[in-house]
């Protein structure tokens, strides 16, 4: 319907449009009361919490008796303290976050960025029909977090992260083998990817969640930005480059080796999560990681 020289530009423009929607929505999102308290703005923090309580229980005075802590107010957290927190005090949690982010970045980007190449090179699908195969793939990515997301709060982070990572890895290895022996058509390959990413999408989402909630309040945003950057740099750059080279060989067995590598990373991340992940569900953030501004 639209020329290729204009079509891809319009596709990119939709991303900018979504970004503008998020930017406008951000104006109605209240600031974190915890952040306000630490940065010396307790009155604003109390006003936000009171408004939330009124919207839920109708009475801002009906408070649950949570344990109290004393915080040292300050306008910023020194970078030296941030580095000590991430790489010394919580080194184990940092390694867990890096393992989860790297595995999902390699797994996700390697397959998604080479999706069209596999369809055109191995199944003979015309390039102008590839979009129809991406639609069910996108549906699996959407339905996974929608239907499985609540289980991360009920069954728990540790169990569900290990489960979703592990299942994604096993299914990729199985579908990769079927692909290597020519047992899949373009349609069944797409169904296989849809099922795989039904589990891989909440797994990837859980990686962001884990990194953001297992570090002290002052460094949560920085931690997720850092591990996303490093994980994507390792997995998101290497994965597509490697798979592109494997697809260029024209050998299904070569591509299968790449799938096995991605599956192995996901299964290894599942084992790490099962052993070392923090059970943070239904717990106050202060009990998961004590704030750096903690006094007593």
Tell me the CA distances in angstroms from 251 to 1, 175, 268, 271, one per residue in order: 34, 16, 26, 31
Whether residue 84 is found in the same domain as residue 140: yes
Distance CA 101, CA 236 (A): 10
Whether residue 40 is found in the same domain as residue 93: no
CA nearest 293: which of 220, 221, 218?
218
Average pLDDT over the chain, rounded to an integer: 88
- Identify whether the C-beta of residue 92 lies closer than 8 Å to the C-beta of residue 218: no
The predicted model scores a pTM of 0.85
The domain boundary, picked from 79, 97, 131, lies at 79
* Number of structural domains found in the chain: 2
Q: Which CATH number does the domain housing residue 84 bear?
A: 1.20.1250.20
Whether residue 147 is found in the same domain as residue 30: no
Mapped onto helix, strand or coil, the DSSP state of residue 71 is strand
Amino acid 77: pLDDT: 81
Whether residue 10 is found in the same domain as residue 73: yes
Whether residue 181 is found in the same domain as residue 234: yes
Q: Is residue 294 part of a domain?
A: no
Q: Is the pLDDT of residue 64 over 80?
A: no
Amino acid 111: pLDDT: 84
Residue 60's pLDDT band (boundaries 50, 70, 90)?
low
Q: Is residue 152 part of a domain?
A: yes
CA nearest 259: which of 175, 162, 141, 197?
175
What six digits make up the tokens of 193? 């990817």
Q: Is the pLDDT of residue 27 over 90?
A: no
Q: How many helices (H) and strands (E) does the chain have?
A: 14, 0
Q: Is the pLDDT of residue 251 over 80?
A: yes
Whether residue 138 is found in the same domain as residue 192: yes
Whether residue 67 is found in the same domain as residue 188: no
Whether residue 138 is found in the same domain as residue 148: yes
Whether residue 156 is found in the same domain as residue 242: yes
Amino acid 243: pLDDT: 87
Q: Give me the helices (H) in 149-283, please.
A: 151-154, 157-180, 186-213, 220-231, 237-248, 252-276
Amino acid 218: pLDDT: 85
Amino acid 59: pLDDT: 58
Q: Is residue 225 part of a domain?
A: yes
Residue 174's pLDDT band (boundaries 50, 70, 90)?
very high
Distance CA 33, CA 52 (A): 11
Span 142-167, average pLDDT: 93
Distance CA 208, CA 206 (A): 5
The domain boundary, picked from 57, 79, 101, lies at 79
Question: Which of the residue ranges 60-69, 137-146, 178-187, 188-197 would you say has the lowest mean pLDDT?
Answer: 60-69
Q: Is residue 290 part of a domain?
A: no
Q: Is residue 292 part of a domain?
A: no
Whether residue 142 is found in the same domain as residue 37: no
Distance CA 111, CA 262 (A): 9
pLDDT tens per residue across span 106-136: 988 888 888 888 999 999 999 888 889 989 9
- Tokens 């096993």 -> residue: 170
Q: Is the pLDDT of residue 262 over 70?
A: yes
Q: Is the pLDDT of residue 62 over 60?
A: no
Burial pattern 38-67, b for ≥16 Cβ within 10 A else e, equals: bbeeeeebeeebeeebeeeeeebeeeeeee
The domain boundary, picked from 60, 79, 98, lies at 79
Residue ranges making up the domain that contains 25: 4-79
Whether residue 69 is found in the same domain as residue 202: no
**Taking every pair of C-alpha atoms in the chain, what is the biggest distance, in angstroms?**
68
Amino acid 235: pLDDT: 80
Contacts of 190 (CB under 8 A, 6+ apart): 119, 133, 136, 137
Instruction: Give 126's Cβ-side CA count (13 Å radius).
Output: 2
Span 288-293, average pLDDT: 84
Distance CA 280, CA 284 (A): 8
Q: Is residue 232 part of a domain?
A: yes
Whether residue 100 is found in the same domain as residue 168: yes
Instruction: Give 228's Cβ-side CA count (13 Å radius).
Output: 14
Q: Is residue 133 part of a domain?
A: yes
Distance CA 48, CA 187 (A): 51
Q: Is residue 180 part of a domain?
A: yes
Distance CA 123, CA 4 (A): 22
Q: Is the pLDDT of residue 46 over 60?
A: yes
**For the chain, what percent of residues have pLDDT higher than 70?**
97
């Amino acid at each position: 319907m639209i020329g290729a020289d204009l079509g891809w530009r319009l596709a990119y423009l939709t991303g900018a449009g979504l970004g503008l929607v998020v930017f406008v929505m951000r104006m109605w999102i209240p600031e974190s009361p915890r952040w306000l308290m630490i940065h010396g703005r307790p009155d604003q923090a109390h006003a936000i919490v009171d408004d939330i309580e009124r919207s839920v229980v109708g009475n801002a005075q009906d408070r649950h008796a949570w344990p109290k802590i004393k915080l040292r107010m300050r306008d910023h957290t020194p970078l030296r303290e941030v580095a000590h927190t991430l790489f010394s005090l919580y080194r184990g949690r940092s390694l867990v976050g890096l393992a989860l982010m790297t595995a999902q970045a390699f797994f996700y980007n390697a397959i998604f960025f080479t999706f069209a190449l596999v369809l055109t090179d191995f199944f003979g699908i015309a390039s102008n029909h590839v979009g129809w195969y991406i639609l069910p793939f996108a549906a699996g990515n959407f339905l996974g977090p929608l239907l499985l997301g609540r289980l991360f709060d009920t069954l728990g982070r540790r169990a569900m992260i290990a489960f979703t990572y592990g299942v994604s890895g096993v299914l990729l290895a199985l579908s990769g083998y079927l692909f290597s022996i020519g047992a899949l058509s373009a349609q069944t390959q797409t169904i296989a990817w849809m099922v795989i990413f039904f589990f891989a999408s909440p797994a990837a989402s859980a990686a962001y969640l884990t990194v953001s909630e297992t570090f002290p309040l002052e460094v949560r945003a920085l931690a997720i930005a850092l591990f996303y950057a490093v994980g994507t740099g390792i997995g998101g750059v290497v994965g597509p480059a490697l798979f592109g080279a494997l697809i260029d060989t024209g050998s299904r067995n070569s591509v299968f080796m790449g799938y096995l590598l991605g599956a192995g990373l996901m299964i290894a991340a599942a084992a790490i999560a099962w052993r070392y992940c923090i059970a943070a569900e239904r717990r106050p953030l202060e009990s998961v990681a004590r704030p750096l501004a903690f006094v007593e």
